[in-house]
Amino acid sequence: MSRGLIGCFLSLAIPAFSQQVSIGVVLTGGGAFGAFEAGAIHAFFEKWAADHCPAVKPICEPPIQAIAGTSTGALIGPFVALGSGGVKEVFELYQQVEQDDLLSTKLADLLPFNLFARWSSSVFSVRPLQKMLARRLPDSRLLEIAQGWPSRRLVVVATDFENGLPALFSSDEITNNPSRFRDGVLASTISPLATPPVYIKSGPSKATPHLDGGVHAIAPFQALFDIASRSDALALTHIIVFSSYPQFPGADPDEVQRIQKPYPVRPKFGAIGARMDALISESSVSKEVALVWAAIELRNKGVSTEIVYQQTGFKIPIPPSSLIIIAPQQRLGWDNLRFNKIEMRKMARLGQQASPRVLFGDLPTAMRK
């Protein structure tokens, strides 16, 4: 683990016993690149336990009170809500899965393109991923997450493609219908056109097609603020963003540091689509982080919630004092739908070694250098 990660997280850990710390976690989209996020948050939990928990005592955990995830972050989020055991499990999962564990081909792929576009909603089936979610997140584990409300809140974000609006699935709703929440996680994780929509009902209305939460917000800040502001509102002091993407425009790694194979000199349909998706995601994360940074600055300077919302689109009833991001220094690759466990192990290790960067606020005085 790098000195940067140890030093910066130690400085977040110290105030846990001297002042009230309340952490909100934002988990971005990223597909296979989510292995980086899984590695980074696993390192965070391990460092916290090492600093605060003598070996003779039960493991203690960082004071995470709100978690918001989209796409691959929606898959990681429930495991974070389950605590250190869940974090270890998802860290290992992202180093074990292969393409066939998540996606399968369809007979429709054999059709001529004009017929395929007319008759099929996607290239792949997500039946393997659906089965994995049912196995890894059965009703019993989802109900365990629900019991954590309101002290630990979870929300995952999908997009309702019928009305084009975000669809939030929060842990306070799990008790009534665990399978609906699991469907929300599935919908958030799957990519339009590559994978088919998940049809989910909202109340008595008909079931509508839901897909990738990253279409709405690849870094779901507003969803985090929304669940934090519900009854028994939380005053989050730190927001930590775990991102699969470097600051835009990122750089491709050199031959020594490269994880995925080089981008083709003459790319075909699939490679062009994969690179486009990764670049749009990289750009979107940077823009969303910059915008929420400005919104928090305004709120902490006394600008009203309503005016900040009008100017930035973010509604922040109680602004945090610190905004921190953990992201790769350069691109992890160009194809975030390439699930290769050897490559993802390397990404997870990079996540473990990553250094947090404070965007807004500061670390405690004792740890400043």
Dig out the tokens for 187 from the structure: 């919908």
Residues 6+ apart with CB under 8 A from 3: none
What's residue 54's pLDDT? 66
Helix 341-353 crosses helix 34-52 at what angle (to 10 degrees)?
40
Q: In degrees rounded to 5, what are phi and psi of residue 214?
A: -65, -20
Dihedral angle of Cα 161, 90, 69, 281, to the nearest 10 degrees: -70
What's residue 202's pLDDT? 81
Upstream peptide bond of 249 is cis (omega within 30 degrees of 0): yes
CA angle 28, 171, 235 (to 5 degrees): 75
What's residue 3's pLDDT? 41
What's residue 10's pLDDT? 42
Regions of the chain with pLDDT less than 50: 1-4, 6-7, 9-18, 363-369
Dig out the tokens for 61 from the structure: 């955990």
What's residue 365's pLDDT? 29
Continuous H helices in the chain: 3-13, 34-52, 72-81, 84-93, 99-102, 113-119, 127-136, 139-146, 178-189, 221-228, 269-300, 305-312, 341-353
Residues 6+ apart with CB under 8 A from 12: 21, 23, 62, 238, 324, 356, 363
Side chain identity, residue 318: I
Distance CA 127, CA 31 (A): 17
For 314-364, what is each residue's pLDDT tens digit? 999 999 999 999 999 999 999 999 999 999 999 999 999 999 999 987 642
What's residue 177's pLDDT? 94
Q: Which helix (H) or strand (E) holds 157?
A: strand 153-160
Which of 278, 275, 276 shows the shortest CA–CA distance to 286? Answer: 278
**89 touches 45 (CB < 8 A):** no
What's residue 113's pLDDT? 73
Distance CA 179, CA 90 (A): 20
Distance CA 172, CA 154 (A): 8
For 99-123, what is each residue's pLDDT tens digit? 899 988 776 666 777 776 777 777 7
3-state secondary structure (DSSP) of residue 128 = helix
Q: For the whole model, what pTM was predicted?
A: 0.90
